[in-house]
Structures are given as structure tokens and as C-alpha cells.
Structure 1
Amino acid sequence: MPAEGRLAAGARLALTTFTTVPVRAGRIDRAVAGTAMALAPAVGALLGAVLAGVLLVTGGFAPPLVAAGVTVGTSALLTRGLHLDGLADTVDALGSYRRGPAALEIMKKPDVGPFGVTALVVVLLVQAAVLAELAERSALATLAAVVTATATGRLGVGVACRRGLPAARPDGLGALVAGTVGPPALAAGTVAVALLALAAVPDRPWQGPLVVAAALATAVWLLRHVVRRLGGITGDVLGATVEVVTTLVYLGLVLSG
């Protein structure tokens, strides 16, 4: 496929994978999937801009915590709740202390166990609390912080799909995207997100890029543990990575020095 065609198909796949935007997916193969995963931070930035708008507009007539709750709910709606579902399934599998196929079988079950419920509650509470704090900052700082967090969360997907990490199953999303993102795409995404992060904490511009780096480093460590336990990545692992990295960035951006 020509480079331009692969880019367009990758953009469509990224939108349909990470949002509910009604875009028809074109050709899907590993090359296109790799492009989609590399473009995930850009999709995250667009989503973050929408969520920041929801937070700022709702915060104009409602208390900050209410505005934060509406924003968290909007995020779940715009992503079909898939990342939250992936988080719950992944934590349940890891919490079972089982390995390989036995752990993967737990991830396929439709119910959510106590570990998964706890993870969802903690992540949603932290995100809502941070967004309530961000709602009281300047509009520019709020926009930069939300865009940074959502873009970095999707950059975590690229980290999970980097070359060298296998898929846990021979089929499914994990098998399609595992090992498809090369170092140049990761480097470009990291630089772009770090530049966005400079405006997230206006009085300490170094804090945003540092938080981004720390969250991605944590994702690398967690993914190594997941691969040891599960044998590779899955679609659920990608969703869990999005939520964990996003939450870590949100948390880091409101910590005071």
C-alpha cells in the first residue's frame, strides 16, 4: 500500500479504535495497524481537547466536582468504555496469580471480579478528583493538562505495541498490533507530548514533561510484568495501559513541588 494510503487507513483505524467517531475503517493489516497505533497520541490529543471543553463549559455553571464527573463520564462514552473494561479484565487476571492461558481465560470472562472493581473505582475517583482541581485553573492550563494526559495515555499504547513485545494470543487485537510500532514513531510521539506538557503547569513548565517521562517509564515496567504473566499483550492490556498512564499523568500534574 502506498505511504499516503497507509496513513489515511491508519488514521481511520485509530479513530475507530480509540473513539466512537463514526468513520468507516479501510484496509486493515499489520502495516496499517502500526500506523494507527503510532497515531494514537494524536487521537488522544483531539479527545483531550473535547474533554477539556466539556470540563470548562460544565464548570462554568456547576461545581468543579460535578464538572469533573461529567467529564469522566463523557470520556467513557466517547471511548465506549473499552479502556476501562480492559483495565478491569487485566487487573483481574493479574490479581488471580495465574499465568499464561489460565490468566488469559480469566480476562475473557464477562464478569468483573473484586480486583477489577477496585481498580475501576480507584482510577475513576483519582481522575475525577484531579479534573475537579484542574477545573479551577486557567483555561489554557486546563486545556494543556487534559490534552497532555489523554495524549500520553494513548502514547502508552505505542509503548505496548513496540517491537520486541509479543502478543499473548495468536488472534485478536493484540496479535494484530504487537510489535508494529518502531522507535522513530515512539520518539516523535514522546517529543510531541512533552512539548504539549510544557503548558500544563504554567509556573513549573518542567513538571509536565517530567510527569510524562515518569508515566511512560512506569508503563514500560508494568508491561514487562504483564508479558511475564500473560505471555504477551492483548487488547485488554492496551486498554489498561491507556487508563493507568492517563491517571498517572493527571495525578502528576496536580502534585505541588
Structure 2
Amino acid sequence: MRFALGTLTVLPVGVPRWDRGSARRGMEWAPFVGLLVGLTAAATGLLALLLGTSSLLAAVISVAVPAVLTRALHLDGLADVADGLGSAKPAGEALRVMKRSDIGPFGVLTLVLVLLAQVAVVNELYGEGGWAQGALAVVVSCVVARTALTLAARSGVPAARPDGLGALVADTVPVRTAVLVAAGVAVVSAALGAVVNWWNPLFGAVSYLFAVVLGLAAAELLLRHCRRRLGGVTGDVFGALAECAATVALVVLAFG
């Protein structure tokens, strides 16, 4: 748990062990970290609504909180991966592009579109679906984002580089464990969707189930593309997968 909190948030928990054993357990606990981040983001957004702000401002705040709690590392990873893949260069050169500190046009465009999509969906749910719908969507999207990390750290997925956080956590989580974690997240999300949509629980359950499944499916497609283009995963790839899963899950909920 401390490894997960220490690597996936800014919380000063201290990480006493920095090895593949603790990395495995940390990646298995990643969805729980997403739950903590999501609850914080949802609570902050709801506080803004209670104070009389517009649903749009509350949505911006809810989207900003996860970025603050992660030092925007996932967003940075998304931008780097967009630049690396968008360069259309061989794996080695693409990895060098991703390692640079600057952000190119592909990265900027991707960040703008992703953040706009997230804010737009949360704003719609806060404004039309009600505070409970918006809050649950924020929480579930954060959990789905970290569940994508658990799946990406499963056995058989290699690291693209021999060093860095990606190399430490890659190929550590047993496939069965990763699948069970993802299935548990899907079932719990569907149950909460049914509760929030109490007037039509079946629709609510199906909506949130689809959001989780499609969010993780989109992250899996991106993961496979990164494996083909880059040869494996990096810390940046993990960040991109998280943002991809969260955004797709939110967009799916917008159609509900």
C-alpha cells in the first residue's frame, strides 16, 4: 500500500522497500489508490457545488484534483506518449522523444482534448444528472484509471527500457490477479451505478459496467499499440493508459 501511495500520489508516506516484490503488491493495490483520489476529487467538487459555484467550475475542480494529487505525472505521460507515437519514428528514437522534457504538438493537442472531454462530461453529469451521478462518475473514472495500471503490469508485458519505474513494475502482477482485480472493480462499479440510479437500477448497473469494461478495453488497445511500437511499457505509457481509461469511462457515462 505504501509503495502504491508513494508512487501514484504525492502523499509523503515513505516507501521502505523499492523492489519488484513491493512493486507487485503496489500495482495490485493501485485501484484502491484510485478510490482515495476519486473520493477526494468528488468531495472537492461537491463542496464547490455546495458553496454555490457553477457545475462547470465544480467539474474543473474535480478534474484538477487528481492531477494535483499525482503531480500531473499521468498527464505528462500521456503527452510524452502522444509525442513519441506521433513522431512515427522507430522504437529507439520514439523513446528518446518521450524522454525529453519539452512537450510537442501531438502532446499539447492530446492534453487539450482529453482534459476538455473530462471536464465536459463531469460538467454534464453534475448539471443534468445530479451531484450523486457526477460524484460517482469521478470516483469510478479514477478507479478505472488505476485498474488499467494493474492490468498493464501483468505478467508477459515487458518493459521498453531496462531502467525507470516502468521497468520496476512491468511483468510483476500475475495475470489471474490482474483479471480478478478488474472483475471486482467492474462488479462493484455496476452495483454502485444501480444504487445511484435507484429509479432504474438495471440501466445504472449496465451503464457503469460498460464504462469500466470499455475504459479498460481502450487502455488495453493503447497498451498493445505501445508494445508493438515501443517494445513494451514505460512510466510514461502507464500514465497514458490511466488517462485513456479514465477519459473513455467518463465518455461512456455521458451517453447514459
Q: TM-score, normalised by structure 1?
A: 0.92
1:91 matched to 2:82? The reply is yes
Residues 37 and 161 in structure 1, CA contact (< 8 A), matched pair in contact too: yes
Shift of 1:188: 2.6
2:46 aligns with one of 31, 41, 56: 56
1:185 matched to 2:199? The reply is no
Name the SS for the 1:135 alignment partner.
helix
Name the SS for the 2:224 alignment partner.
helix
1:87, 1:67 → 2: CA distance?
Answer: 24
After superposition, where does 1:244-255 map in structure 2 within 5 Å?
Answer: 244-255=244-255
After superposition, where does 1:1-257 map in structure 2 within 5 Å?
Answer: 11-60=1-50, 61-136=52-127, 137-198=129-190, 199-200=192-193, 202=197, 203=200, 204=203, 205-256=205-256
Shift of 1:243: 0.5
Residues 122 and 137 in structure 2, CA contact (< 8 A), matched pair in contact too: no
Shift of 1:143: 3.1
How high is the sequence identity, in percent, across the aligned residues?
Answer: 43
Shift of 1:219: 1.6
2:42, 2:188 → 1: CA distance?
Answer: 14
- Letter of the structure 2 residue corresponding to residue 220 of structure 1: E
1:252, 1:73 → 2: CA distance?
Answer: 20
1:185, 1:138 → 2: CA distance?
Answer: 35
- Letter of the structure 1 residue corresponding to residue 85 of structure 2: L
Name the SS for the 2:29 alignment partner.
helix
The alignment of Structure 1 onto Structure 2 pairs a total of residues equal to 246
User: Residue 110 and residue 232 in structure 1: after superposition, are their counterparts in 2 closer, same or farther (change >3 A)?
Assistant: same
Shift of 1:184: 2.9
1:46, 1:192 → 2: CA distance?
Answer: 17
Shift of 1:206: 1.0
Residues 151 and 179 in structure 2, CA contact (< 8 A), matched pair in contact too: no
Q: Which residue of 2 aligns with 1:3?
A: none
Name the SS for the 1:170 alignment partner.
coil
2:90, 2:214 → 1: CA distance?
Answer: 28
1:73, 1:211 → 2: CA distance?
Answer: 21
Shift of 1:63: 0.5
Shift of 1:207: 1.4
- Letter of the structure 2 residue corresponding to residue 144 of structure 1: L
Q: Which residue of 2 aligns with 1:6?
A: none
Provide runs of 4+ in structure 1 moved above 6 Å.
Answer: none
Deviations 1:83-138 (A, max 9, x none): 00000000000000012111000011111000000000001101111111222334
1:114, 1:175 → 2: CA distance?
Answer: 27
- Letter of the structure 2 residue corresponding to residue 17 of structure 1: T
Residues 164 and 234 in structure 2, CA contact (< 8 A), matched pair in contact too: yes
1:245, 1:144 → 2: CA distance?
Answer: 16
Structure 2: give runs of 5+ residues left out of the alignment: none
1:234, 1:28 → 2: CA distance?
Answer: 17
Residues 93 and 104 in structure 1, CA contact (< 8 A), matched pair in contact too: yes
Shift of 1:196: 3.1
- Letter of the structure 2 residue corresponding to residue 56 of structure 1: L
Shift of 1:193: 1.4
Residues 218 and 244 in structure 2, CA contact (< 8 A), matched pair in contact too: no
2:152, 2:138 → 1: CA distance?
Answer: 22
Deviations 1:155-196 (A, max 9, x none): 001121111111000111111111111123212321221133
